[in-house]
Amino acid sequence: MIMTSLVTILAIFALTILAVAVGERTHLPYPVLLLISTAALAFLPFTPNLVVDPDIILPLFLPPLLFSTARRASWSVFAVRRRTLFIMAFALTAVTAFAVAGLVKLLVPAVSLPLAMALGAMVAPPDPVAVESVAGPAHLPRRIMRALQTESLFNDAVAIILFTAAVAAIRGERAFGLGVAGNFIVGAVLAIVVGFLVGWIASYATTHLRSSAASGALTLVVPFLAYLLAEEVHASGVIAVVVTALEIGRHAPEAVHDRVITTSFWEVADLLIIGAAFGLIGVELRNIVTDQGWSDIVGYLPVALLVALAVIVIRFFGTWVLHWMTRRSRGVPRNWRECVVVTWCGMRGLATLALALSLPAVAKGTVVVGRNFAVVTALVVMIITLVPTGLLLPWLIRVLKLQEDPRKQRLEAIRLSRRAERAALSALNSYLATLDLPEDTKDKLRAWGSQLHRRITLMQSLPGGPQTTAEFHSSSPEKYQEQHDMMVSAQTVALEAARAEVLAARMDPELDVATVDRVLRTLDLRTLAIRS
């Protein structure tokens, strides 16, 4: 059994790599391709069955994926986009859950109100993993992508709290009522405290770890620690993970090598974890179909399709309300075309699947009436909002003429590089005044500093070492090494000043964090090249 499960997991990883290659060639989102391929393979008779405990799906996948997404954000983004955050992440998620519950209760009176509420909570939150991994490669304008990321980081927290309260009512533990709002506020406050605490401890530990590999490994452990600790004190694990990631990002590691290792580590981890998550969704489709039976699924389809339509319509109205409220500040969305795209990107995924599978089948000693209907409906909503929308998103962006102009990101990178260059030149001139170097060498270093922005944006190589100065060849080996070390230290001082300026720019809400991180990574690689 263990070997069979291991083979299945390795097969999912292999399919992930294949899906990435196909996605790059076809310009289609690889997670959707992976879901389709794993679902198709899962229905083949020779494919082994992989059974995963529903209770571990969210704790296993959500912390690292949320952490990875939140690492690419900053506190300033949330401060500027607080209106988007409140409307899309909190208000719209709650409204969707209650509206779906009311619709289900109206269409299927036999379903209890708590079960209808649980179904509403299942299908309410767009999945952060789906939004990031499917919408990201589609070349959406970065400001729309940032708005989607801001929303998707917190809506799971609202949905999970509503779902937990509904399940407690199904089990007869307590009634579903206004206490949910109070529980959410208390849980959110506790989660923020946990997130700040874990983030501070992790940042402190990182500065005292000498091993870059250990620093990278720590960032993988931290999201699980924050999530489980928050859940243990009955707080929101989702909010705790997001706050932890933002705090660690604010205290970015000063060690260049640590940052390069950690970034590379998370690029690989992201790929494999997202692959495992979407592969699991594909595999679980067969388990759900086997458990429910095709006849029941077909019988549930009319109501399930109406619920899916309601979810999409509610999201469109929510985005239109946001457009109306932010029209003067030129927020997101700015027009009806952006409203359509933001609605289109309301993809349900891992959270919907995990909540559906964890819905209890028995409560108070009796079978929960309508449980199969709720699971199938959630599955249908997930497929409709994820598969066709994911495959057609690049086409929709082209039709609506919303493609991101590649020159815009390049110009933003150039402007940031010039800021870094000015900081580097200032630090370099101050440092050169303290060094005993030939004037022509100092001039070469100043020329190098004045072209730093080109070296960042065009990836030009650094100038040679001391051999660029003729006087170095006639000097003794000791003098040669001394002047070589001074040149390296001067370049390092300049790059450190440039890096500090870029890290400060990361808190600027007008700048794209992804662009800032690319410039920062280039500076890090330059520093490592000098030191090698």
Among 49-58, 184-193, 209-218, which is the least confidently predicted range? 49-58
Same domain for 366 and 451, yes or no, is no
- Tokens coding 206: 């990182």
Residue 500's domain comprises 407-531
C-alpha distance from residue 507 to each of 206, 251, 303, 332 (Å):
21, 11, 46, 20
Same domain for 300 and 422, yes or no, is no
pLDDT in tens, 103-143: 999 999 988 899 999 999 999 998 767 777 776 666 777 77
In 3D space, the residue among 356, 489, 476, 386 whose CA is nearest the CA of residue 434 turns out to be 489
Same domain for 385 and 455, yes or no, is no
- pLDDT above 50 for 467: no
Same domain for 247 and 395, yes or no, is yes
Higher-confidence residue of 483 and 89: namely 89
pLDDT > 70: percent of the chain: 89
Of 384, 403, 422, the one marking the end of a domain is 403
Among 49-63, 284-298, 339-353, 463-477, which is the least confidently predicted range? 463-477
Same domain for 345 and 418, yes or no, is no
Same domain for 370 and 440, yes or no, is no
Same domain for 328 and 222, yes or no, is yes
The model carries a pTM of: 0.81
- 366 forms bridges with which residues in the sheet? 363
Of 403, 426, 455, the one marking the end of a domain is 403
**Euclidean distance between CA atoms 508 and 502, whole angstroms:** 10
Structural domains in the chain (count) = 2
Same domain for 470 and 324, yes or no, is no
Same domain for 411 and 323, yes or no, is no
Phi first, then psi, for residue 412 (nearest 5°) are -65, -40
Rounded (10°) angle between helices 92-107 and 155-170 = 40
Same domain for 355 and 414, yes or no, is no
Total count of residues recorded for the chain: 532
- pLDDT above 70 for 170: yes
pLDDT in tens, 478-511: 766 766 777 778 888 888 888 888 888 877 777 7
- pLDDT above 80 for 187: yes
For strands 366-367 and 362-363, give the pairing: antiparallel
Of 359, 386, 403, the one marking the end of a domain is 403
Same domain for 500 and 395, yes or no, is no
- Bond from prior residue into 223 cis (ω within 30 degrees of 0): no
pLDDT in tens, 21-36: 888 888 778 888 888 8
In 3D space, the residue among 95, 121, 508, 499 whose CA is nearest the CA of residue 318 turns out to be 95
Average pLDDT over the chain, rounded to an integer:
81
CATH number for the domain that contains residue 116: 1.20.1530.20
Same domain for 182 and 244, yes or no, is yes
- Tokens coding 221: 């452990």
Amino acid, res. 41 = L
